[in-house]
Copies of this chain bind each other. A is one copy, B any other.
Amino acid sequence: MMQAAVATAKVWIGGEWRESDAEGVFEPENPSTGEKLGREFPVSRWSDCDRALTAAAEVASELEHIPAEKIAAFLEKYAAELEANAEAIVQAAHEETALPVSPRLKDVELPRTTDQLRQAAAAARQGTWRRVTIDRAKKLYSCMAPIGPVVVFGPNNFPFAFNGVSGGDFAAAIAAGNPVIAKAHPLHAYTSQLMAEAAAKALDGSGLPPATVQMIYKVNHEVGQRLVSDPRIGATGFTGSKGAGLKLKHAADAVGKPIYLEMSSLNPVVFLPEGLKENVQKWAKELADSCTAGSGQFCTRPNLAFLIAGDAAESFLREVAAAFNSREPHALLSSSTRDQLHESIRALKAAGATVVTGGRNLPGNGYRYASTLLHVSGKAFLSAPHDLQREAFGNEVMAVVAANQDELLDALDCLEGNLTGCFYSSASGADDALYARLAPVMRRKVGRLLDDKMPTGVAVSPAMNHGGPYPATGHPGFTAVGIPASIARFTALQCYDNVREERLPAFLREK
């Protein structure tokens, strides 16, 4: 590869692709091969952020008063541009993430992403997110309004659907009329660049100011913390690791800036004993499928499987282990993803878990890791509940085998906040009494409670909740998926009191 010939990619600030004031560069690689992809991207200094913040603050007022129709038309045009460039975008994402082209990237994630943009467009037009409340007798008018420039940090595992420049947070923030500063994930920098170019095309002629969308690729922690706490921003959306998320949360909290984080979730799945006897193979296959699809790199992938000790539980674990051993794992997103998975498994072992199968890197091309089943007794779990609730991001699951129903209840009562919690139970009703004891405990710990179904696969429905109690997110009242509810995060409540009719925003006037 001819390093000298590579030009560093430009950042997209104030409507222009411009040289970054970079403190360094990075080169994405193909995780299937470990080879550099021959592209170079900048690590932005504060000055890039500062410029983007100034531009965003300038356009925020203009966007506030732009007709919703123009915002909706932009979102739809952007969706169409992504579709028109689908082949190049999917190929770039495949190279950068090792995720399969089909069905994952081309047939699932990209259509989901354009669907989200179109749902956001419909929500912008419909305007229910404003929750307009009028008390004419008192001349009081309330509505939700754009909160101001939104910074969106996208995660490594969804190059499209959660990307800072195209994903759910982006769509929600734009739908409410906020400018977005996207912080692309460095692992799919080129994919992000292509998507941003599509956004730029869609912005052109849209009537929206050019700085409505801006993008940088990477910043160091200190710059990131300064970004989310800057007086010019309204709020931040973050999807990523708990470590990085908590650093940003701390900075934003200290100055009262709302920050919405999706950080860490173990997604417990409880297999109730009577049903398990009848469904050992079926349920084992469902769990193994859920833990290995996309190499387990989903925020809703089960990390914890709860069982009650007995023959059925033993058969079940043997089936899961066999399924893990029989499938060839795909590459993980990066070498550091693999290192972190290995480190998490090491930490879980140190806390008392034993390896049933897996627990090691796989040889050959790509950053692959053996699908790993860990085991811990309910008693051991109860003796180190914090250390054993460590997210292992990748193709892994830990079975917690309780001695009896009471121990299972105690274990669920120790759970920290999660996005999801599931119960598999007998169709006959034979597990219903136990379900009635356990479900209320689980309900308090999770944003989405499921029956008889794995938590992976998050439908983009108005009735979805992709949220939950801390540390799954930073606030249990909000969802990152599900339009229009997800828009609420990027809005502020504004009241007009005795304001003269002609000075009210058009949508609040009587006529």
Q: Which residues of A does B touch, CB under 8 Å?
A: 61, 64, 131, 133-135, 138, 140-142, 144, 147-148, 249-250, 253-258, 417, 420, 435, 439-440, 443-444, 447-453, 455, 459, 461-465, 467, 469-471, 474-479, 482, 485, 488-489, 491-500, 503
Asked whether, in the complex, the Cβ of B256 is within 8 Å of the Cβ of A500, the reply is no
Residues of B with C-beta under 8 A to A417: 256
A488, closest chain B residue (CB): B477
What is the bound-complex CA distance between A478 and B499, given in angstroms? 21
What is the bound-complex CA distance between A142 and B465, given in angstroms? 7
Do A135 and B449 contact each other (CB < 8 Å), given the known contacts A256-B470, A477-B491?
no
Residues of B with C-beta under 8 A to A448: 494-497
What is the bound-complex CA distance between A482 and B133, given in angstroms? 10
Asked whether, in the complex, the Cβ of A463 is within 8 Å of the Cβ of B503, the reply is no
Asked whether, in the complex, the Cβ of A478 is within 8 Å of the Cβ of B493, the reply is yes
Q: Which of B257, B489, B503 contacts A451 (CB 8 A)?
A: B503
Asked whether, in the complex, the Cβ of A140 is within 8 Å of the Cβ of B475, the reply is no
| Chain B proximity of A426: nearest CB distance (Å) | 11
Asked whether, in the complex, the Cβ of B497 is within 8 Å of the Cβ of A450, the reply is yes
Do A253 and B249 contact each other (CB < 8 Å), given the known contacts A138-B463, A463-B133, A497-B450?
yes
Copies of this chain, whole number = 2
Asked whether, in the complex, the Cβ of B470 is within 8 Å of the Cβ of A140, the reply is no
Asked whether, in the complex, the Cβ of A144 is within 8 Å of the Cβ of B477, the reply is yes
| Chain B proximity of A319: nearest CB distance (Å) | 22
What is the bound-complex CA distance between A467 and B256, given in angstroms? 13
Asked whether, in the complex, the Cβ of B464 is within 8 Å of the Cβ of A495, the reply is yes
Asked whether, in the complex, the Cβ of B474 is within 8 Å of the Cβ of A256, the reply is yes
Residues of B with C-beta under 8 A to A447: 492-495
What is the bound-complex CA distance between A500 and B464, given in angstroms? 17
Asked whether, in the complex, the Cβ of B134 is within 8 Å of the Cβ of A503, the reply is no
Residues of B with C-beta under 8 A to A134: 463
Q: Which of B255, B453, B461, B475 contacts A498 (CB 8 A)?
A: B453
Residues of B with C-beta under 8 A to A455: 497
Do A463 and B140 contact each other (CB < 8 Å), given the known contacts A256-B471, A435-B503?
yes
A252, closest chain B residue (CB): B253
| Chain B proximity of A122: nearest CB distance (Å) | 15
| Chain B proximity of A503: nearest CB distance (Å) | 7
What are 15 A-B pairs at a CB distance below 8 A? Answer: A135-B462, A142-B463, A142-B464, A144-B477, A147-B476, A250-B253, A258-B475, A258-B477, A447-B492, A447-B495, A451-B498, A464-B495, A465-B493, A465-B494, A478-B493
What is the bound-complex CA distance between A44 and B135, given in angstroms? 43
Q: Which of B148, B440, B451 contacts A500 (CB 8 A)?
A: B451
What is the bound-complex CA distance between A257 and B477, given in angstroms? 11
Instruction: With a 10 A CB-CB cut-off, give which of A440, A482, A494 has the most chain B CB atoms.
Output: A494
| Chain B proximity of A502: nearest CB distance (Å) | 9
Asked whether, in the complex, the Cβ of A453 is within 8 Å of the Cβ of B492, the reply is no
Asked whether, in the complex, the Cβ of A503 is within 8 Å of the Cβ of B439, the reply is yes
Q: Which of B258, B435, B463, B470 contacts A135 (CB 8 A)?
A: B463
